Amino acid sequence: MKLSEADRLIYGRLTGIDWPSKRETYFAPQVAKWQIAFIPWEFGYLAVVTDSARKKIASIEFLREGGEGLSLRVRQAAYFSGYLSHDGKILTPEAPDLDDECEVLKLARRELRLYLSGGHEIRIPYKFPEGTAFQKRVWEETLKIPYGSVKTYADIAEIIQPDKDKTGQMARAVGRALAANPLPIIIPCHRVIGSNQMLIGFGGGVDVKDYLLQLEMWHAIPTA
């Protein structure tokens, strides 16, 4: 994508970073230490962000039509890399040069493609998110849910707080903690559903949650 001088100036004002000399499918401004890969899939792109050392995955976001719910960093990267238009439409940039993409993003591409083909549990080095003690406990319990299985918000609430009288309130708190999960798919919050078996509360959209659950249940991995 060729940027006008006005776009370059806007980018500089927003980020304080010079526009990189070569546009690629990953986004790595010259001053920033992280990289972002935009991986195409059924619902647009998975925006996969590394940590500052480029050794682990720090977050995954869903880039969909409209561009809603994105962090400022990913929104800027999507726009200036040619994946998102000014009016929120998903775009397909020209074939990129991936020579300088860091190893953890190359691994993330392979692992996510295998996962999305069915029957594969993701194995990617990731940075466990920062959060409150409660959020971390919820994320830790969510990581224990096997591929192809589900738990309810109440199930996780009862593990954390066995007092039955507080389960309802705690279940809502579990939902809020999962809504703050920056590593969907890796920390599989899509495997947590409502007590009435309803699919609720997923940042990528309920249709994405349904898609991921159907994928896993159709290709369930046998347990040893």
Cα–chain center distance at 217: 20
- Give residue limits of the domains in the chain: 36-117, 133-220
In this predicted model, which residue has the larger pLDDT, 49 or 18?
49
pLDDT band at 29 (very low <50, low <70, confident <90, very high): low
For 35-52, how does the pLDDT look when each residue is reduced to its tens digit (9 = 90+)? 999 999 999 999 999 999
- Say which of 28, 48, 174, 189 is annotated catalytic: 189
What phi and psi, each to the nearest 5 degrees, are found at residue 20?
-65, 155
Q: Is 80 exceeded by the pLDDT of residue 151?
A: yes
Please indicate whether residue 102 is annotated as part of the active site: no
- Within its chain, how far is the Cα of 118 from the centroid? 18
Q: Which of 10, 27, 30, 7 has the alpha carbon at shortest distance from 18?
A: 30
Q: In the prediction, which pLDDT does 92 show? A: 87
Tell me what the mean pLDDT of segment 60-70 comes to.
Answer: 92
133-220 under CATH 2.40.50.140, yes or no? no
